[in-house]
Amino acid sequence: MNYVGSISLMDKGDYDRGDSPAQAVLDKNARSVAQRIADETREELEKVLERVEHIYDSYENSMELIFQTQHSANMEYVNDINELEEIMKDQIKKRKYQQGLTIFIVGYENVCGQRLKLLQHVNEFFMENSKSVEEEDWFPKTPDLDLDDAAENIDQSLNKAEDLANRLGEINQEMVNWLSNYAINKASSKALAFVDAKGKKKLEKALEKAKEDLGSLSEKLHNLQLDLEDKESKYQDLLKMLENKNLESQKYKTAAEIAKKNVTELEIENAVMKEDLEKRKNFMKDLQRKLNRAENELSQNDMLKDIQANQISDQYQETQSMEALTAKKKIQELQETVDKNKSKTEEVKRGRLFKSKTEEVKRKKLRGVGYLNLKQKKLRGVGYLNLKQKKFRGVGYLNLKQKKWKTEEVKRGVI
């Protein structure tokens, strides 16, 4: 039986997902397994064919013996005993056959027909199970079938057929021997009648036995054929199951390959992310170094600023002290001037107050620079002299009690 066929695991055109090398290896392994099974089956078939050839050779030998006996005597084939009795009852045919030696073989055609049917069944079996490599589909996995029992039954059937063929050869030889004895003992009618009756009985028994054997053999072959058909249907079912399992396993393999590919891609992405992370870490380290450097520079700048601020503060204090000294000098000069003009100022004040009393009553105020606060005895800045309020409003003031001017603007006041 040939199991190497079109192994269609996956079509490259439809299912090419980047796993063509793996698919090629799987296809190659499947074909090698199928080829090994085919070789083993071929060897078994060769053994069976050798047995058939042996049976055929024995059949040809028996036919050669029959053909050899045809030259020495006439042979007639009849279907059954009834036909032979009709020939013996016909006086014309009886006289015709009595003129020479004639051998009647009863039931030979039936036996040959049964034998032909047997050979046809065997031939059909071998033809069905010896298809070419391209005509039969096969999958790499072998089904778990009890093929040994089937092979054993076939061997038994073939052995039985061989035994029957040998038995037919023996019957043929016995028939030839009986015919020879019949020709030799033809002179004696009693002996001939006795031998004829005895030979007929013996031949009938042999033929009946051969019929029974052939019937049992045909029945066994029929049962064997039914068993083989049943096993063939189971075998086809198992093949379908194997096909489905194979497709499922192929799907799982494809899914595993895809998952493996995804894992590889994730590993690559992880490596890229790790590399990016290292770059970021290095970049952060550089930034940290720059930040530390900037902080150091900033701290240095702060120190410089503090130093500059201290310097500015010192300069400001020096400037303030200088300004204070200058102001003291000016105040001393003003104080001297005030002391000199104190008496003059009082006189002028009194004179002007009394002199312009009428005008002051009308206006009740003197507009000018500063004001004179008679109660506090001081003249304030630029403004006016309000006699009713007895004070001179303006900028700055003359403190008569302290005898000194506040601010320089008082000098420009008019009393």
Last residue of a domain, one of 249, 268, 287: 268
Write down the mean pLDDT value for the chain.
69
Phi, psi of 251, rounded to the nearest 5 degrees: -60, -45
Please check the confidence at residue 311 and state whether its pLDDT lies above 50.
Answer: yes
Last residue of a domain, one of 251, 268, 285: 268
Residue 196 or residue 172, greater confidence: 172
Whether 15 contacts 27, CB under 8 Å: no
Q: Identify whether residues 372 and 252 lie together within a single domain.
A: no
Q: 227 vs 106, 160, 230, 375, CA distance in Å? A: 35, 18, 5, 151
Share of the chain above pLDDT 90, in %: 0
Of 7-16, 236-245, 278-287, which range is least confident?
7-16
Q: Identify whether residues 98 and 204 lie together within a single domain.
A: yes
53 in any annotated domain: yes
Please check the confidence at residue 136 and state whether its pLDDT lies above 50.
Answer: no
98 in any annotated domain: yes
Ordered DSSP codes for 301-353: HHHHHHHHHHHHHHHHHHHHHHHHHHHHHHHHHHHHHHHHHHHHHHHHHHHHH
81 in any annotated domain: yes
Q: Identify whether residues 102 and 243 lie together within a single domain.
A: yes
261 in any annotated domain: yes
Please check the confidence at residue 76 and state whether its pLDDT lies above 50.
Answer: yes
Q: Identify whether residues 264 and 358 lie together within a single domain.
A: no
Q: What is the pLDDT of residue 126?
A: 72
pLDDT tens digits for range 383-394: 444 545 555 455
412 in any annotated domain: yes
Q: Identify whether residues 46 and 151 lie together within a single domain.
A: yes
Q: Identify whether residues 259 and 370 lie together within a single domain.
A: no
- Written as six digits, the tokens of 312 are 């500015």
Whether 391 contacts 373, CB under 8 Å: yes
Please check the confidence at residue 157 and state whether its pLDDT lies above 60.
Answer: yes
293 in any annotated domain: no
Average pLDDT over residues 62-87: 69
The pTM (predicted TM-score) of the whole model is 0.23
pLDDT tens digits for range 199-246: 667 767 766 776 777 677 777 777 777 777 777 777 778 778 888 887
Please check the confidence at residue 137 and state whether its pLDDT lies above 60.
Answer: no
Residue 183 or residue 25, greater confidence: 25
254 in any annotated domain: yes
Average pLDDT over residues 346-374: 56
Range of the domain at 222: 12-268
Average pLDDT over residues 192-201: 59
Average pLDDT over residues 149-168: 74
Of 61-75, 93-107, 138-152, which range is least confident?
138-152
Of 2-6, 110-114, 166-170, 220-224, which range is least confident?
2-6
Q: In 10 A of CB 161, how many CB atoms?
A: 23
286 in any annotated domain: no
Which of 8-22, 300-314, 353-367 has the largest mean confidence?
Answer: 300-314
Q: Across-strand partners of 95?
A: none
Q: Identify whether residues 264 and 400 lie together within a single domain.
A: no
Q: Name residues whose C-beta falls within 8 Å of residue 224's C-beta, 6 or more positions apart in sequence.
A: 153, 154, 157
Q: Identify whether residues 390 and 251 lie together within a single domain.
A: no
Q: Name residues whose C-beta falls within 8 Å of residue 146's C-beta, 6 or more positions apart in sequence.
A: 231
Residue 306 or residue 3, greater confidence: 306
Q: Identify whether residues 123 and 219 lie together within a single domain.
A: yes
> What b/e sequence results for 205-224 when a residue is b if at least 16 CB atoms lie within 10 Å of its CB, and e otherwise?
ebbeebeebbeebeeebeeb
Q: Identify whether residues 109 and 249 lie together within a single domain.
A: yes
Q: Identify whether residues 244 and 390 lie together within a single domain.
A: no
Q: What is the pLDDT of residue 408?
A: 43
pLDDT tens digits for range 104-135: 777 777 777 777 777 777 777 777 766 544 44
Count of domains forming the chain: 2
Last residue of a domain, one of 268, 289, 322: 268
Q: Identify whether residues 115 and 223 lie together within a single domain.
A: yes
